[in-house]
Amino acid sequence: MVGPTFGNIATSIVMLLLIATLSLEYVIPQLVPLIELQYAQYGVLLTMLVGGLASSSVAFWGFGTLFALPQFIGTKHWKIQEQKSLDMKLLRKSMPTIVFNFLMSALVGPVIFYNLLPQSSFDWRVLPSPRSLMYEIPIWLLAEEVTFFYLHRWMHVNRKMYAKIHKIHHQWTSPISYAAIYCHPLEHLLCNVFPLIIGPLLCGSHLAGISVFVFVGFIHTTAVHSGYWFCDDNGMHDVHHEKFNYNYGVMGLMDSLYGTYLLPPSASSTESAAKRAKAD
């Protein structure tokens, strides 16, 4: 059982560093000639828009659909809220907003990066080193955790914001992967897009590293909204959808500080059993 503070943060940092390092070593170098060709033919911004849309589609719609398959099949195995089943009527109602928010973030993110990142961020002949990633990744994750927690929590404690904005997302009390971005467009920009891009902007990070971070971010958010034990948060965000006033953050760090951290009963039982075994 990974704890909500040091253990979870350490795991997140190491896993993201490993994925980024492998991507920069074996995957991205193969794409550099194509990216530079697209830069020359269509310009940096258009290349970023098209490339970002393609990458985000694989992460959100590709992995999101894989995570949604158990819901469509109706299997209860590994389901966090075993008594709940997929609300197909709500899914059909949600899909236009989900598609709109996906396209909006695919447009807004590249435009912001294009205008605010330094010129060195777009030099694909000089990719970020593992050493620089070791410095930047903790900043990315911490910035995301803090900004998402406070903005998300504000959406709950401010009654007007909750009633007019955030309540839309909480129509899903037992979510499916696609529901990760089912929300008011204003909330999508404030709570989903901004926390994800603020860290890389603060660091002036290279677009290659940012691309991996955003790709993994899409997979992570679809996993924690899947309703199944697919992710490293131990059902933390699923509990947020079920009970509303717990787990406002991503990793559990801020929730631990504010006393709003709560895991599902099955996860808590696993943790208790592990502690008893260790004591014996």
Count of structural domains within the chain: 1
| The token pair that represents 155 in the structure block | 């959406």
Q: 220: how many CB neighbours lie within 10 A of its CB?
A: 22
Bridge partners (DSSP) listed for residue 228: 79
- Confirm whether 29 is domain-assigned: yes
- Confirm whether 93 is domain-assigned: yes
* Residue 228, helix vs strand vs coil: strand
| Residue 1 binned pLDDT confidence (cut-offs 50, 70, 90) | very low
Mean pLDDT of 95-118: 97
- Confirm whether 1 is domain-assigned: no
User: What domain range includes position 48?
Assistant: 6-279
pLDDT digits (tens, 9 = 90+) for 153-209: 999 999 999 999 999 999 999 999 999 999 999 999 999 999 999 999 999 999 999
* Residue 79, helix vs strand vs coil: strand
- Confirm whether 243 is domain-assigned: yes
Q: 146: how many CB neighbours lie within 10 A of its CB?
A: 17
Q: Is the per-residue pLDDT at 2 higher than 80?
A: no
- Confirm whether 202 is domain-assigned: yes
Q: Is the per-residue pLDDT at 241 higher than 60?
A: yes
Q: Is the per-residue pLDDT at 63 higher than 80?
A: yes
Q: Kindly report the pTM of this predicted structure.
A: 0.91
pLDDT digits (tens, 9 = 90+) for 20-62: 999 999 999 999 999 999 999 999 999 999 999 999 999 999 9
| The token pair that represents 179 in the structure block | 């529901």
- Confirm whether 158 is domain-assigned: yes
- Confirm whether 108 is domain-assigned: yes
Residue 194's pLDDT is what?
A: 97
- Confirm whether 113 is domain-assigned: yes
| Residue 9 binned pLDDT confidence (cut-offs 50, 70, 90) | confident
